[in-house]
Structure 1
């Protein structure tokens, strides 16, 4: 079952949120310190991912172009509006945390990254769910901590995570028929690097250092795919 890893990932996020709600009485000082710990970990993870690029110019161009597209369509506000809509539907009070903040922050952390892409590809191509199982454990623990500080909105991040990874896994069952392995490897490397910069920005936001609209950078992933494909096509042509 090629969607098993994705389903497990979504379930562990939900379980993490439920456990986080049970532990919501953790002292504020402890929550703050733990959140700083997560922020620093996310920052380091982003740096590690960013340094994996084989051509950082691709990352720069992708992020700049992605930012222009994201700002034009105002993606960050649209994503936040989904969270605010959920907040109104649930009638959540401000004391329970902002659903929009929890939803947006958790979605960006869980969706952006190499593990989501590589794990979903492994599930679809080889039926190997180990990467997504590992990601599921990490996401579940992160969801638990995020819920104690950002509230129950984190639980809704399981929906885009499952849709995103499920779509990739479904696509991957047929991917080897029309996308060369070399192109896919290059794509994963550069998407990992571009996503790493976004992860780094998320870490800074969580630490309260910046208020970067990371969602407006997301089109950079698509731009990366286009640039890598063009480069691959050009190199194939001249060779």
Structure 2
């Protein structure tokens, strides 16, 4: 099955990211800072909205805490940074924010209810409409992100494609397992990570969010258990 929705999403991020790279060189520092702060505030608002959908706070709390511990023990942040640095070296990029841009963009584009529901909608019913809507939003976000972070944002399309298309492929197999309540819990857990992105964007506190990614599969397991 051709993942039309995911392909359009990837193209939207690439186009938006390219526009952001071009604009970034022309925007004064104060304007880039304002864009950065505006994106951070909007990201916090999105995170709060997602968190409000939780059904069982214990599932979300255990998922985030235990996921963070697992990610720290596995050294996910270190491994991802090392991989990103190798990619940066091959591209001969001198952008100090390359890794931050890649990680931040990936989390913004991939952690959310629209990603899950959109991928499942295309996988189950062959309807990419929701992913088309997500593509438009991601394209505009990519402009702001690339203007601030640079080239790393464009390379977030690789994990974006693998993750989103993977959800689409497995949608048929998992349709009898993913209930509405489970998706709500997964959305709320993703909302916590989105809040972390907002704090990073606003430079309030640097949080190693890659280490928190195990919280998402752990949320699914705990939702089954509870």
Name stretches of at least 5 consecutive residues in structure 2 with no aligned partner.
none
- Post-superposition offset of 1:2: 5.2
SS in 2 for 1:147: helix
Give the whole-Å Cα distance in 1 for the aligned partners of 2:7 and 2:172: 17
Residues 1-239 of structure 1 mapped to structure 2, 5 A cutoff: 1=1, 3-24=3-24, 25-94=26-95, 97-176=96-175, 179-180=176-177, 183-231=178-226
Q: Distance in 2 between matches of 1:229 and 1:173?
A: 18
CA distance in 1 between counterparts of 2:5 and 2:172 reads: 14
**Structure 2 CA distance for aligned equivalents of residues 170 and 124 of structure 1:** 6
Q: Deviations over 1:146-165 (max 9, x none)?
A: 11110111001011111101
Q: Distance in 2 between matches of 1:175 and 1:222?
A: 13
Give distance in 1, aligned partners of 2:180 and 2:86: 39
Structure 2 distance, partners of 1:190, 1:175, is 16
TM-score, normalised with respect to structure 1: 0.91
Superposition RMSD in Å: 1.2
In the TM superposition, what is the alpha-carbon distance from 1:87 to its structure 2 partner?
1.0
Residue equivalent to 1:235: none
Give the superposition deviation at 1:102: 1.1
What per-residue deviation string (whole Å, max 9, x for no partner) do you get for residues 126-154 of structure 1? 11111111111111111111111101110
**What TM-score do the two structures reach when normalised by structure 2?**
0.96
Look up the SS of the partner of 1:23 in the other structure.
helix
Deviation (angstroms), 1:66: 0.3
Conserved 8 A contact 1:86-1:100: no
Deviation at 1:172, TM superposition (A): 1.1
Helix, strand or coil for the counterpart of 2:27?
coil
1:174 Cα shift?
Answer: 3.5
Partner Cα distance (1:114, 1:2) in 2: 22
CA contact (8 A) 1:83 1:101 kept: no
Q: Which position in structure 2 is the counterpart of 1:236? A: none
Cα drift, residue 17 of structure 1: 1.1
